[in-house]
Amino acid sequence: MSDTPKINKWVVALSVILPTLMEIVDTTIVNVSLPHIQGDLSISLDESTWILTSYMVSNAIIIPITGWLATTFGRKRYLLFSIASFTVASFACGYAPSFLILVILRFIQGIAGGGLQPVSQAILLEAFPKEQRGMAMAVFGMGVVVGPILGPVLGGWITDNWGWRWIFYINVPIGILSLVLTNVFVFDPDYMKKIKKTAIDYKGLAFLAISVGALQILLDNAQRKDWFESRFITILAVIVAVGFILFLFHETREKHPVVNLRIFKDRSFSIGNIIMFFGFFGFFGTIVMLPIYLQTLMGYTAFLAGLVLGPGALTTLIVMPIAGKLLERGFDPRKLLFLSLITNAFAVNIMAHFNLSADFWSVIEPRAIQGIAISLFFVPLAAVTFANIENEDMGNASGIFNFIRNVGGSFGTAIVTTILTRREQFHQSRLIENLIPTNESFHHIQNLLSNVISSGALKLGLIYKELLRQSAMLAFNDAFYFCSILFIALLPTVFLIKRPKSPRMTKPAA
């Protein structure tokens, strides 16, 4: 007989989604506040980025080992500890008197928050019977997808009205509520109480921490340091490669590994993670580019640029429960996933045709379409990826899945910003070839400017400024087009996933 109390699944969902959303929002809420933090703490731009990097590094290290941590210390105990630590660290970040202390506190905050996503996902998947896991993932996906979009909007508003320290203080009441709900409504399943504690895999932990930490630092700094032209980036790349090789070699031979890689023997799980990596690569790439395009070329404020992302979040919230219901009724998740990739490619292709005269609604439309695509991506992908995973392996599988998602987003951010920089330089060198007296267009614009400006140097300055804007616009078009092609390239992988058994063939849980 089970000793675990029967709690309504929707109450459990609310209890674990709240801390998850708090942590995900915190990954992006700081971005728009960096200029304010720079001025207040008197630091440079390069120094300020460590406020983001320190959080992402510690977060990335913890996520893949959360299954092991939850098994070792108890899932509820570990979740409560993570929420409490995250809340205290958030409060301390708000009071940080110096840059160094803020970076250290952000590192601690990342360690505490890293466990919230995968542990919450594992609890959700177990709270819902197998035939309703699509709806469980719809609920979880709302936080995962909407969080990064909500962060910059909320961060911009709080910073403008209350100051940057309040982007950390705002976590305190949410954290306290999450602690209460988790303590009252979340319990460890019976099988976890019977698992024997094993020796700590110190070597696996060390290899993972070094390689993942180096990878995150590499991705966060690669573009600013011109990738492998920098000795620092090259050294990091070597550390990552060697660290991961040693980690894989050790973990596949360890009897009680910190990350159980044997789970990749399941074909659907393996392919699902590949699709997740490249899918979030493209998704985060577009999420990063759109605000930059609006603020640097179209003159939008940070808040207005964030509002453009809003309709995408709204369509995601509307469509995700629908996707979950379709899966409950036996709809093939692979078809939804295929439709998602096509829709995403279509929406991003529209973005690839943006220009310097695009109006507000022209930008919102593809974002709204992409919101639908993301809904049809996350829910069915999670359903097919976890279809054959037993509850005992859910914590480990969820940690890996969330780690792959985060790394995919980090790679997407690093690669698209590199594409933007390189393609802008390319288009600038091509367009500048036309600034010669024999070019009719150049001659015509000079004559037009002569009617209002007498200084030849000023005229050339204005023309060159416009050339830079056009070069940047063409670079954005190229980068959006790259992401669109990426979604198309993923289509064949959908057919490699095994179709999970229809929920209607599965006897509902009592």
Q: How confident is the model at residue 192 (pLDDT cuts 50, 70, 90)?
A: low
Out of 3.40.50.300, 3.50.50.60, 1.20.1250.20, 1.20.140.10, the CATH code matching 9-424+475-505 is: 1.20.1250.20
Tokens of 492: 């064949």
Tell me which residue of 13, 310, 308 sits closest to 135, measured CA to CA. Answer: 13
pLDDT at residue 118, rounded to an integer: 80
| Closest listed residue to residue 220, CA positions, set 103, 65, 86 | 103
Look at residue 342 in the predicted model and tell me its pLDDT.
Answer: 93
Domain spans of the chain, in order of start: 9-424+475-505
Of residues 44 and 192, the one with the higher pLDDT is 44
Asked if residue 157 lies in contact with residue 36, where contact means CB atoms within 8 angstroms, the answer is: no
- The pLDDT of 6-18, averaged and rounded, is 77
DSSP-derived letter for residue 329 is T
Q: How far apart are CA 308 and CA 300, in angstroms?
A: 10
Confirm if 82 and 134 have CB atoms less than 8 A apart. Answer: no
Instruction: Please name which of 281, 277, 271, 263 lies closest in space to residue 500, comparing C-alpha atoms.
Output: 271
Helix (H, G, I), strand (E, B) or coil at 272: helix
**Residue range 378-428, pLDDT digits in tens:** 888 888 888 777 777 777 787 788 888 878 888 888 888 888 888 888 888
Amino acid code (one letter) for 478: D
Angle (CA) 260-65-378 rounded to 5° is: 85
The reported pTM is 0.77
Of the candidates 172, 57, 166, 175, which has an alpha carbon nearest to the alpha carbon of residue 116? 175
For 364-379, give one letter per residue: b (16+ CB within 10 A) or e. bebbbbbbbbbbbbbb
Question: Residues 310-344: pLDDT tens digits?
Answer: 777 788 878 888 887 887 777 888 888 899 999 99
What pLDDT is stored for residue 1 in this prediction?
43
Alpha helices in 222-266 (DSSP H): 231-251
